[in-house]
Amino acid sequence: MREGGLSPRALVARIIVIFIFAVLALRLGYIQLVDDRYNELSDRNYLRNVVLYPPRGEIYDRNGELLAQNRLCYDVTIVRKDMPKSGFDTTRVSNLVGMSREALVKKIKQSPYRRESRLTRYPITVEQKLLLDEMNIGGFYTSQRTVRQYPRKIGGNLLGSINEVTKAKIEKDDSYAVGDYIGMEGLELAYEDVLRGEKGLVLQDIYAPQAERNTILKEPVAGKSIVCTIDAELQQLAEELMEDKVGAVVAIEPSTGEILTMVSSPTFNPDELVIGRERGNNYAKEIQNPRMPLWNRAVKSRYPPGSTFKLVTGLIGMQEGVLRPHYMYPCNMGYHLGGEHIGCHEHRSPLGLHYAIATSCNAYFCYVFRNILENKREYEITKDGFEAWRDYVLSFGFGRKLDSDFLGEGAGYIPTREFYDKRYRKSWNALTILSLSIGQGELGCTPLQMANLAAIVANRGYYYIPHIVREIEGQDSLDARFYQKQYTKVDTKHFEPIVEGMWRGVNKDGTCQGAYLKGFDVCGKTGTAQNSKGEDHSTFISFAPRNNPKIAIVVYVEHGGFGAEMAVPIASLIEEKYLTDTIKRPHLVEYVKGHKIAYPMYRKKR
């Protein structure tokens, strides 16, 4: 070594050390000043993105009463790496969140170490959340959201329910993510886009003081409230009257097409299908019920309209020029010609149109139906007459969806010429299909379509598309189609004789005098639809008052017997409640509620 100097070996070592420190300094400077990846990774240790779920739009009845409102609750998520190393009281936490200790431990072990995962499928209550906060256990986080509650416990099929979105829906619509809620059936589904709102996002610093913890990146947007057309008191009464019965009730305001009540019976308590631990059990109970309470008969079931359809037969006959109100036809306990026989009950004979409607004469409308199809002045062959008849029927809204705002609406069924050609190998005539004249045979109508028929007659020839929503928050009007008159192919002048017959049926000498309400000129038509699987179905369509009608209604009770036996008193009580805001015939309420029908145990064909 040279005096006062470094040896070559020491010099090399010093140069290497200086080089290493220089590299480290440069790298550190690059990381701090240029590369922000490590800042982000560091941030992730204490920052978490939290979805802010918006409150769902609430649903009100036409008078401002809440039908579906929100209840505050909380989701619980866990981050395993943030949990205390010394452990915590797993038994107490499991009891608090409603799961077994074994399930809690298993869930924690299976969760990603750094990423958060949902602890429970169902949200916890406000009370549970406060107790969890008191325990102050690291790694457990709560986020606010809402679930439904239903003050009156009515309108199960009408309102629908809320459930977690499916994977299939997420794949189709990327605006949904795992854990989101979505409307299922009813109004909740039909107006999902309006009710759901928009999710927000917050950046949460879990180590910051509570007051400084959250940085809102996007504010949530609450769903829009809906005012529906339903009258809550009327809905509750109708559901009570239909208890222990299978069928449907639909009432419409003829001047607007607004649905005043829509009941499918049996129904269910919508609170039982609110998202929570018992939803699955309750849903399984309803789905296994052979009377199918989750099936909305009011808009989906296809029923034979029975004698209520005679109104349509009479109207088409007058429009085609083969019937005048004074035309008389005989009825000898029914219609008899060759091998054809359609029975009827006892009444005077011969009779004209008004009395035929009032007394629901089968023979009269068999004559009218044959005259329509066999009108040689207009049609060369009977099959051409049938096609003309079918076009008229379609104009009344039968055999097709009415285009209401209620999803899942059924089309019913009106047979076609091709259908009969195939069934009878092209060898058929008016006598072959004579049962159509009185609403039997292959005819299938939904209760919504039948209520719409009552509205058409009330309006003397037109209707507004039935709809369930009256107003949407922030919108001036509904879709334009709900304000447009839909005309049938029958001239207005032909409806007055039909109205007269319906008025007589209630107020003078007919089959539905049980629907009489003093001072309200109720008009109605009974129907007894034949049923091969037991007692006949009972149905009744009506509107009131006769002039400037306020309500049009159908009641359909499966296996209810004659129309006057069960459908008439139910409809009459609903009309009385709506028109007078009271019920003055408690004995009739007791009769209806006490009338329990024994139903055969079969699942209804959809």
pLDDT of 15 reads 75
C-alpha span between 283 and 413 (Å, rounded): 30
pLDDT of 520 reads 95
- Give 415-442 pLDDT, tens digit per residue: 999 999 999 999 999 999 999 999 999 9
For residue 371, which phi and psi values (nearest 5 degrees)?
-65, -35
Least confident of 5-9, 269-273, 484-488: 5-9
Percentage of the chain lying above the pLDDT 90 cut:
67
Confidence band, pLDDT 50/70/90 cuts, at residue 30: low
Of 512, 257, 530, residue with least CA distance to 397: 257
Least confident of 17-21, 416-420, 520-524: 17-21
Tell me the two tokens of residue 359.
């007394």
C-alpha span between 584 and 31 (Å, rounded): 85
How many CB atoms neighbour CB 594 within 10 A? 8
Tell me the two tokens of residue 156.
């199960």
Of 263, 271, 270, 274, residue with least CA distance to 296: 263
> What's the CA angle centered on 570, arms 565 and 576, to 5 degrees?
130
Instruction: Evaluate whether 438 touches 342 at the Cβ level (below 8 Å).
Output: yes
Q: Which range, 295-309, 338-352, 521-535, is most confident? A: 295-309
C-alpha span between 259 and 469 (Å, rounded): 8
Confidence band, pLDDT 50/70/90 cuts, at residue 606: very low
pLDDT of 41 reads 43
Instruction: Evaluate whether 414 touches 443 at the Cβ level (below 8 Å).
Output: yes
- The yes-or-no verdict on residue 2 having pLDDT over 70 is no
Q: Which range, 90-94, 459-463, 556-560, 582-586, is most confident? A: 459-463
Confidence band, pLDDT 50/70/90 cuts, at residue 172: very high
Of 184, 148, 161, residue with least CA distance to 268: 161
- The yes-or-no verdict on residue 243 having pLDDT over 90 is yes
Tell me the two tokens of residue 41.
């990774």
Q: Tell me what the mean pLDDT of segment 361-372 comes to.
A: 96
Class in CATH terms, 47-79+90-228: alpha beta
- The more confidently predicted of residues 120 and 307 is 307
For residue 483, which phi and psi values (nearest 5 degrees)?
-110, 5
Q: Under DSSP, is residue 205 helix (H, G, I), strand (E, B) or coil?
A: strand
Instruction: Evaluate whether 170 touches 177 at the Cβ level (below 8 Å).
Output: yes
- The more confidently predicted of residues 325 and 562 is 325
Q: What is the CATH number of domain 232-281+296-594?
A: 3.40.710.10
Least confident of 270-274, 491-495, 514-518: 270-274
Return the bridge partners of 351, or none. Answer: 329
- Give 100-159 pLDDT, tens digit per residue: 999 999 998 988 888 888 888 889 999 999 999 899 888 888 889 999 999 999 999 999
pLDDT of 40 reads 45
For residue 220, which phi and psi values (nearest 5 degrees)?
-70, 150
Instruction: Evaluate whether 440 touches 464 at the Cβ level (below 8 Å).
Output: no
Residue 562: half-sphere exposure toward Cβ, Cα within 13 Å: 10
Sign of the Cα pseudo-torsion (564, 566, 569, 575, in order): negative
Percentage of the chain lying above the pLDDT 70 cut:
92
pLDDT of 81 reads 87
Return the bridge partners of 262, or none. Answer: 250
Tell me the two tokens of residue 384.
């051409």
Token pair 């990381």 in the structure block, residue? 31
C-alpha span between 89 and 243 (Å, rounded): 49
DSSP string, 478-517: --GGGGSEEE-SS-GGGHHHHHHHHHHHHHTSSTTGGG--
Residue 323's contacts (CB-CB under 8 Å, 6 or more residues apart) are 314, 317, 353, 368, 371
Instruction: Enumerate the domain spans of the chain.
Output: 47-79+90-228, 232-281+296-594
Instruction: Evaluate whether 535 touches 561 at the Cβ level (below 8 Å).
Output: yes
Residue 258's contacts (CB-CB under 8 Å, 6 or more residues apart) are 62, 229, 252, 466, 467, 470
Q: Tell me what the mean pLDDT of segment 270-289 comes to.
A: 88
Q: From start to end of 53-103, where are the E strands?
A: 59-60, 66-78
Q: Tell me what the mean pLDDT of segment 478-506 comes to.
A: 97
- Give 79-92 pLDDT, tens digit per residue: 888 889 888 888 99
- The more confidently predicted of residues 16 and 503 is 503
Least confident of 63-77, 368-382, 524-538, 542-556: 524-538
C-alpha span between 307 and 517 (Å, rounded): 22
Residue 161's contacts (CB-CB under 8 Å, 6 or more residues apart) are 148, 183, 184, 185, 186, 188, 270, 273, 274
Tell me the two tokens of residue 535.
């007692």
Confidence band, pLDDT 50/70/90 cuts, at residue 208: low
Q: Under DSSP, is residue 260 helix (H, G, I), strand (E, B) or coil?
A: strand
- The yes-or-no verdict on residue 466 having pLDDT over 50 is yes
Tell me the two tokens of residue 239.
């559901």
DSSP string, 322-348: S--TT--B--SSEEEETTEEEE-----
How many CB atoms neighbour CB 138 within 10 A? 13
Confidence band, pLDDT 50/70/90 cuts, at residue 29: low
C-alpha span between 517 and 576 (Å, rounded): 7
How many CB atoms neighbour CB 260 within 10 A? 25
Question: How large is the angle between the packed helices 495-507 and 310-319, nearest 10 degrees?
Answer: 150
Mean pLDDT across the chain: 90
Of 242, 223, 224, residue with least CA distance to 158: 242
188 burial level (CB within 10 Å; 0-12, 13-18, 19+): buried
pTM of the model: 0.88
- CA 23 vs CA 27, 28, 30: distances in Å: 6, 8, 10
The conformation of residue 99, written as its DSSP 8-state character, comes to: S
CA distance from start to end of the chain: 105
Host H or E run for residue 590: helix 586-594
